[in-house]
Amino acid sequence: MSLDAAVAAGLPTVKVVGTGLLGTSVGLGLASGGARVLLSDPSPTALALARDLGAGSAAAGDGADVGLVVVAAPPDVTADVVLAELAAHPAATVTDVASVKSGILAEVAARGGDLSRYVGGHPMAGRERSGPVAARGDLFIGRPWVVCAGEKADGDRVDLVRRLALALGATPVVMGAEEHDASVAVVSHVPQVAASLVAARLRTAPEGAVGLAGQGLRDVTRIASSDPLLWAQILSANAAPVLDVLTALRADLDGVIAGLASIAAEGGPGAGTPALGARAAVAKVVADGNVGRERIPGKHGGQATRYAVVTVVVPDAPGSLARLFADIGDAGVNVEELALEHAPGRAVGLVEVSVLPGVRERLEAALDAAGWKIVA
Amino acid sequence: MSLDAAVAAGLPTVKVVGTGLLGTSVGLGLASGGARVLLSDPSPTALALARDLGAGSAAAGDGADVGLVVVAAPPDVTADVVLAELAAHPAATVTDVASVKSGILAEVAARGGDLSRYVGGHPMAGRERSGPVAARGDLFIGRPWVVCAGEKADGDRVDLVRRLALALGATPVVMGAEEHDASVAVVSHVPQVAASLVAARLRTAPEGAVGLAGQGLRDVTRIASSDPLLWAQILSANAAPVLDVLTALRADLDGVIAGLASIAAEGGPGAGTPALGARAAVAKVVADGNVGRERIPGKHGGQATRYAVVTVVVPDAPGSLARLFADIGDAGVNVEELALEHAPGRAVGLVEVSVLPGVRERLEAALDAAGWKIVA
């Protein structure tokens, strides 16, 4: 889980085209590992900034020694830039970092680009801020970096892009462009739409309603703070796969709506005969969600693990968490997941500490002995 | 943020009817504060267990001194039990803890219950486990406890139920039954449906897709692990309000689907003329979600605060978090929110520490000086 300088130093000269957040982060990470990085950007200011930050040196001359080009241009011009770089560096491998892959591959193919040398990429990392100033050499550490090898791509060049990911501390995941686009539709794009749809309902909700918001609502809507224009671009660029998933989701939603409408028509809560089929339709979506949720990989890329959750009341003051985690450490217990929840109107927090089930009792006993209030 | 023994000791004799998770927790919390608690349950075993746990003593005799009855029966029999208790204790105030309120109030009214003495309640707390063994006297600490005063309820009795909540460390929130049911539809029931719908899409997703799951998907689907039968009951009992919100959500979803269908029909990503209206429809839902998300109250019940997030790489070993939070505490910085994210396939975690924006730089400098790797 770190930048891999040995891998970085073994890379050929890397040219980064586009010195925004992602391009500058690539340059910073590779340069810190000892790779030779050339930078290029249509904006002289952005280029100078990235260079001054230590992301590499400005590309000049014919760049005959460039072995790998990383195109980090805006999504709507990525294919153009990939084609230009394939032509400018006839021996180099060209990759990119755009978040949707099939369209770019299709356009490179349609316009005669050398598909043996183009290997698409998608580092699944980002920040809320953009631009070279927000860049960090360790932006990609521990994140998946999808490597989309087209059918005609040279194996050695696919391996080179994998090494690019490894040098930056990322986990390379090789898959086809269509599989990638279908995958991000279901694990990223549709969850974004769903979070936005739920949060949008709060827009007109009474003040008293939002005052009852709990951790569940906060979790479901956290990513609803995302940039609308960026997401319009992303969703539009992946329209067909997102459409497939949303259409299936809407069919399930229609089932829930039909079930609830049937129940509501019985005469309201507490009245009438239970519509067993309607209730079963409602339960089915929740049950299907159980099954889907179980498939999300757990820590360390392995199977999802069911952790035991110990909830501790923590005073809202500097040092409280330090004491808590010192006591947890003293108990020899490793924290698998954690979340801090705030109590409405109270100056304390509840820390939910997830641990392996086998150590739960030991942890509870140790925290109790140390004077912590355990809630659940 | 604690049980309030002074308030508990000032309560009249409390009879808890139903010694499951919620009823036993009420008894434990009140008894520990010095209140006199009588327990009742149709199951002698559950009753004996709650008594042995210290939740109170078994109700016996005519209970002439009972001043407050807390009905913690299953939702589908709550109205029956409320009516029976109103009749059995002609001077007592009767409340309940069911999660949907209008139907119970309507049934109590329709069957001639004394509406001056019935004050509905809904403590917004729960656990994954159920039954008296899972009960905790501090289950309600820091949670909202909705007090639903019908129009005919006596003011003194509404105040008594408020004091019940305060004695248990909860925050009483007085609102009407219909407002409560509409509120929980938008902040709790519809988010549950949305999380389940998104998670259900993972059920048939390829293994490679779920392997790309990131923190966004985990957050959106966390509550999708909920019990299907329990949720079928809850959603059915609140069918009309949930239906209203889901119908509005589906209209927004239809807008996104129509926009994406129009974009997909242009010939796929990278081809054709941009459909500006279609992209705007997609962006609008995300923008509406921004506005809604901003309304969720922040810590301490106040306005939502925008925190600065500092992401730190933490080795996956006991003691790491203790060291981190000790260093944060040494910097005099208070943690507002935190989340632990795991890197796929790597034995480390990323801890996202949210702090007030003004202390961000100080924290980053302090952690950097202490040798921590800061990611974002």
Q: B323-353, pLDDT tens digit by residue?
A: 888 888 888 887 877 777 654 444 567 788 8
Answer whether B260 sits within 8 Å of A269, measured CB to CB.
no
Set of chain A residues whose Cβ sits within 8 Å of the Cβ of B299 = 316, 342, 349
Distance in Å, alpha carbon of A48 to nearest chain B alpha carbon: 22
Set of chain B residues whose Cβ sits within 8 Å of the Cβ of A357 = none
CATH 3.40.50.300 fits B308-374, yes or no: no
CATH class of A5-175: alpha beta
pLDDT digits (tens, 9 = 90+) for B204-234: 998 889 989 888 898 899 899 888 888 888 8
Q: Collect all residues with Cβ–Cβ distance below 8 Å to A176 and sequence separation of at least 6.
A: A148, A149, A150
Q: Which residue has the higher pLDDT, A95 or A309?
A: A95
Residue of chain A whose alpha carbon sits nearest to that of B333: A318
User: Which of B1, B312, B354, B360 to substitute to test the interface with A, most A CBs within 10 Å?
Assistant: B1
Set of chain B residues whose Cβ sits within 8 Å of the Cβ of A276 = none
- What is the model's pLDDT at position B342? 55
| pLDDT band at A85; cut points 50, 70, 90 | very high
CA distance B161 to A190: 43
Q: What percent of chain B has pLDDT over 70?
A: 91
| pLDDT band at B304; cut points 50, 70, 90 | very low
| pLDDT band at A301; cut points 50, 70, 90 | very low
CA distance A374 to A352: 10
Q: Could you count the other beta carbons within 10 Å of the beta carbon of residue A45? A: 10
pLDDT of residue B271 exceeding 60: no
CA distance B90 to B268: 71
> Would you say the pTM of this structure is higher than 0.95?
no
Q: Which residues of B90-102 are buried (b: 16+ CB within 10 A; e: fewer)?
A: eebbbbbbbbbbb
- Least CB–CB distance from A321: residue in B107, B214, B325: B325
Set of chain B residues whose Cβ sits within 8 Å of the Cβ of A183 = 205-206, 208-209, 212
ipTM, 2 dp: 0.76
Answer whether B289 sits within 8 Å of A345, measured CB to CB.
no
- What are the C-alpha distances in Å from B29 to residues A106, A312, B32, B79? 65, 17, 5, 24
Answer whether A344 sits within 8 Å of B144, measured CB to CB.
yes
- What are the C-alpha distances in Å from A288 to residues A279, A281, B33? 14, 11, 43
- Least CB–CB distance from B282: residue in A236, A249, A257: A236
Q: Which amino acid is located at A240 in the chain? A: A
pLDDT of residue B301 exceeding 50: no
Distance in Å, alpha carbon of A337 to nearest chain B alpha carbon: 6
Cβ pair B306, B355 in contact under 8 A: no
Same fold, A5-175 and A308-374: no
Which residue ranges make up each domain of chain A?
5-175, 177-236, 238-292, 308-374
- What is the model's pLDDT at position B155? 96
Distance in Å, alpha carbon of A90 to nearest chain B alpha carbon: 24
Set of chain A residues whose Cβ sits within 8 Å of the Cβ of B102 = 268-269
Three-state SS for A297? coil
Distance in Å, alpha carbon of B64 to nearest chain A alpha carbon: 30
pLDDT digits (tens, 9 = 90+) for A86-140: 999 999 999 999 989 999 999 999 999 999 999 999 998 865 566 787 788 888 9
Set of chain A residues whose Cβ sits within 8 Å of the Cβ of B324 = 325
The DSSP bridge partners found for residue B146 are B122, B173
